[in-house]
C-alpha cells in the first residue's frame, strides 16, 4: 500500500473547507462527520464511499473513504466513479422536459402519438398513457413488476417495452404509484422517435455538456473502461465480495449512468436553482421546475414524530417534507452499488453519497444525518437504528437459507424421477427457461439471461431449493405443479431486490 504524506491530507482537508469559510456549519459536519462515516464503513462492511455537500452555491465537503476494491489498496477519492442506478431517471426526465420547452413535444403527449405500436393489456391505459405517466410511475403496476425479465438481460430496449405490454397491471390507471423501470426505458426510447437521436446522445448534449459534467458516463461499457472507478461489491455467503459489473444497457434510461461527487453536485445545483448557475441560465427554468412538480402521491406518514407527513413523486424525483421543509431526493440501486442524491432548495443544500456495496442502508442514513444536521434536528443516529433492523433481516434470511439447506441434506426423494422435471418451460412475459439434469441436481438456463444459471436441489415433495449463480438473484423455494404424475409447470421467484412477485411457467416439452 502506498504511503501518502500527512501534509497531503492536511492540504486536502483545508481545501475541502476553504470555500465554506463564510458558511456556518452544524457541529455534526465539523466535529463528527468523518468519525461517523468511518464507523459506518466498518459496521456495514462497505469497501468504499464518496460524499459531497454543497451549501449556498459553495462546496462544503467532498471526500472519498475506503477502497475502490477489496482486492486492492487504491483508495476512493471525491472523483471516483460509481454507478448511480436509478439516479439516472432524473436525467431522462430532464432531457424530455427540455425537448418540451423547445416545442418539440409536450409532456402531456400520448405515448402512442410517437410510438403507435405501443400497447398495454388495458386498452384505456394504452390509449391515454402520456409522458408524465411514464416519468411518475402511475401506470398501475406493482413496484418492480417485470424487472426480473429485463434486469441484467440480453434484451434490447424495444423488447423491454414489448415485455412491459404483456404485464397484467393489478391496479387501475393513475390510481396507485408503482415503481416501473420499463416505463423510463419507454420514455427514453421516445427521444429517437421525436428527434432522431439516441437517448444517450441527447442526455450528453442537452445536460452533461452544458453543465460540464465531463466525467459522467452514460452506459456500463463506458464505466468499465474508465479510470478511477469503484468496483461493485455484495455480501456472498456471508463475506463481502466483488461481483461483476452489471449490464444495464437494456434498462439504460432507467439506471445505467455512472458519475462522481463533483459532477452530481453540479447536477443538484442546477436542479436547486431552476437551471441557473452563477447567474447563467444553463437549462430552461420551466423544464427544471417540471421535474420538481408533484405528479404522484405515494403515501401520508403520520409517524416519525411528525417530522415527515407526506411522500410524493415528481418526474424522476421523490418529494417529501422534513420538519416543515421541502426535500427532493432519489436513490440509486444497481448490483454492487447504492447511491443517494438530495437537494433542499430552501436551505440551498445539496448532498451526494455514493457506495460500492449493495448491502447497506448507510448511504441513506448518512444522507439523512447530514440533512437533519442542517435542519437543526437533534442527532438521531440513523445508522445505528437501521443497522439493527438490517442485521435482523439478514440473520433471519440466512437462517431461512441454512434451514432449507439442512432439509436438502436429508435427501428426500421428489414425487417423480429427476428426469421428469427436465424440459422447456414458458412464461408469457419472461419467455423460456430450460431445465436439465446434472447428476443429482437440476440446472436452469434462461433465455433472457445467457450468463445466469440456477441449481435446483430437492427439498420436499415437489419443491426445490433454487440457488442462482448470480448472488443478486438470491436463494428461493421453487414449487413444481404436478398432476397425474405429469409436470405441468413451476412457480419461479428471485430476490426482492429485483422483483417481489412470482413467475408462473408452464412446461411445453
> Does 172 lie in the same domain as 265?
yes
pLDDT band at 307 (very low <50, low <70, confident <90, very high): confident
| C-alpha to C-alpha distance for 305 and 464, rounded to whole angstroms | 45
134, 189, 254 from 185: Cα distances, Å: 9, 6, 6
393, 421, 454 — which closes off a domain? 393
CATH of the domain at 475: 2.40.128.600
Any domain includes 401 = no
> Does 243 lie in the same domain as 94?
yes
> Does 135 lie in the same domain as 87?
yes
pLDDT band at 302 (very low <50, low <70, confident <90, very high): low
Any domain includes 458 = yes
> Does 389 lie in the same domain as 422?
no
> Does 238 lie in the same domain as 119?
yes
> Does 322 lie in the same domain as 236?
yes
For residue 382, report the phi and psi dihedrals to the nearest 5 degrees.
-55, -40
Any domain includes 316 = yes
Handedness of CA 162, 168, 174, 178 (dihedral sign): negative
- How much of the chain exceeds pLDDT 90, in percent? 90
Q: Residue 448's closest CA among 150, 144, 65?
A: 150
Range of the domain at 271: 6-393
What is the predicted pLDDT for the residue at 299? 85
> Does 165 lie in the same domain as 61?
yes
As for how many domains the chain has, the answer is: 2
Any domain includes 88 = yes
What residues are paired with 259 via a beta bridge? 82
> Does 290 lie in the same domain as 367?
yes
> Does 216 lie in the same domain as 314?
yes
Any domain includes 296 = yes
Residue whose C-alpha cell reads 448507510 in the numeric block: 362
For the chain, give the longest Cα–Cα distance.
Answer: 79
> Does 429 lie in the same domain as 351?
no
359, 393, 427 — which closes off a domain? 393
| 475's grid cell | 436463494
Any domain includes 405 = no
214-269 pLDDT tens trace: 999 999 999 999 999 999 999 998 899 999 999 999 999 999 999 999 999 999 99
363, 393, 423 — which closes off a domain? 393
What is the predicted pLDDT for the residue at 305? 61
> Does 45 lie in the same domain as 190?
yes
CATH of the domain at 383: 3.40.710.10
Any domain includes 89 = yes
| C-alpha to C-alpha distance for 60 and 64, rounded to whole angstroms | 14
> Does 362 lie in the same domain as 435?
no
Strand, coil or helix: 386: helix
Amino acid at each position: 500500500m502506498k504511503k501518502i504524506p500527512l501534509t497531503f491530507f492536511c492540504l486536502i482537508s483545508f481545501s475541502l473547507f476553504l470555500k465554506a469559510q463564510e458558511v456556518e456549519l452544524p457541529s455534526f459536519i465539523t466535529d463528527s462527520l468523518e468519525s461517523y462515516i468511518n464507523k459506518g464503513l466498518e459496521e456495514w462492511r462497505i469497501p468504499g464511499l464518496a460524499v459531497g455537500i454543497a451549501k449556498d452555491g459553495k462546496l462544503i465537503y467532498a471526500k472519498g473513504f475506503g477502497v475502490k476494491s477489496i482486492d486492492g489498496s487504491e483508495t476512493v477519492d471525491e472523483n471516483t466513479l460509481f454507478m448511480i442506478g436509478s439516479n439516472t431517471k432524473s436525467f431522462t426526465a430532464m432531457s424530455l422536459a427540455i425537448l418540451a420547452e423547445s416545442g418539440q413535444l409536450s409532456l402531456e403527449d400520448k405515448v402512442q402519438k410517437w410510438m403507435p405500436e405501443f400497447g398495454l393489456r388495458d386498452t384505456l391505459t394504452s390509449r391515454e398513457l402520456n409522458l408524465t405517466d411514464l416519468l411518475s410511475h402511475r401506470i398501475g403496476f406493482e413496484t418492480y413488476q417485470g424487472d426480473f425479465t429485463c434486469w441484467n438481460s440480453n434484451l434490447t430496449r424495444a423488447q423491454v417495452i414489448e415485455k412491459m405490454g404483456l404485464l397484467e397491471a393489478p391496479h387501475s390507471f393513475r390510481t396507485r404509484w408503482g415503481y416501473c423501470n420499463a416505463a423510463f426505458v419507454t420514455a427514453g426510447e421516445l427521444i429517437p422517435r421525436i428527434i432522431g437521436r439516441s437517448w444517450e446522445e441527447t442526455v450528453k448534449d442537452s445536460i452533461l455538456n452544458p453543465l460540464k459534467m465531463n466525467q459522467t458516463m452514460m452506459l456500463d461499457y463506458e464505466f468499465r473502461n474508465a479510470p478511477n472507478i469503484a468496483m461493485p461489491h455484495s455480501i456472498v455467503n456471508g463475506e463481502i465480495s466483488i461481483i461483476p459489473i452489471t449490464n444495464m444497457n437494456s434498462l439504460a434510461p432507467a439506471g445505467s449512468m455512472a458519475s462522481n461527487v463533483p459532477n452530481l453536485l453540479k447536477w443538484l445545483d442546477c436542479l436547486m436553482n431552476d437551471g441557473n448557475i452563477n447567474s447563467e441560465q444553463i437549462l430552461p427554468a420551466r423544464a427544471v421546475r417540471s421535474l420538481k412538480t408533484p405528479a404522484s402521491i405515494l403515501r401520508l406518514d403520520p409517524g416519525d414524530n411528525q417530522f415527515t407527513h407526506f411522500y410524493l413523486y415528481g418526474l424522476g424525483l421523490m418529494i417529501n417534507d422534513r420538519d416543515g421543509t421541502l426535500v427532493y431526493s432519489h436513490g440509486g440501486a444497481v448490483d454492487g452499488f447504492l447511491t443517494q442524491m438530495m437537494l433542499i432548495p430552501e436551505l440551498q443544500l445539496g448532498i451526494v453519497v455514493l457506495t460500492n456495496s449493495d448491502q447497506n442502508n448507510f448511504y441513506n442514513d448518512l444522507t439523512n444525518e447530514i440533512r437533519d444536521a442542517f435542519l437543526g434536528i437533534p442527532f438521531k443516529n440513523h445508522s445505528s437504528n437501521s443497522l439493527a433492523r438490517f442485521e435482523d433481516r439478514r440473520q433471519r434470511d440466512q437462517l431461512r437459507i441454512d434451514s432449507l439447506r439442512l432439509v436438502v441434506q436429508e435427501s428426500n426423494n421428489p414425487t417423480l424421477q429427476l428426469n421428469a422435471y427436465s424440459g422447456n418451460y414458458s412464461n408469457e412475459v419472461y419467455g423460456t427457461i430450460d431445465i436439465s439434469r446434472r447428476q443429482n441436481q437440476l440446472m436452469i438456463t434462461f433465455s433472457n439471461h445467457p450468463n445466469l444459471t440456477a441449481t435446483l436441489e430437492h427439498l420436499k415433495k415437489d419443491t426445490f431449493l433454487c440457488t442462482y449463480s448470480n448472488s443478486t438473484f438470491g436463494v428461493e423455494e421453487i414449487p413444481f405443479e404436478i398432476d397425474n404424475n405429469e409436470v405441468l409447470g413451476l412457480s419461479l421467484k428471485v430476490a426482492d431486490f429485483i422483483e417481489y412477485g412470482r413467475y408462473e411457467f408452464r412446461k411445453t416439452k
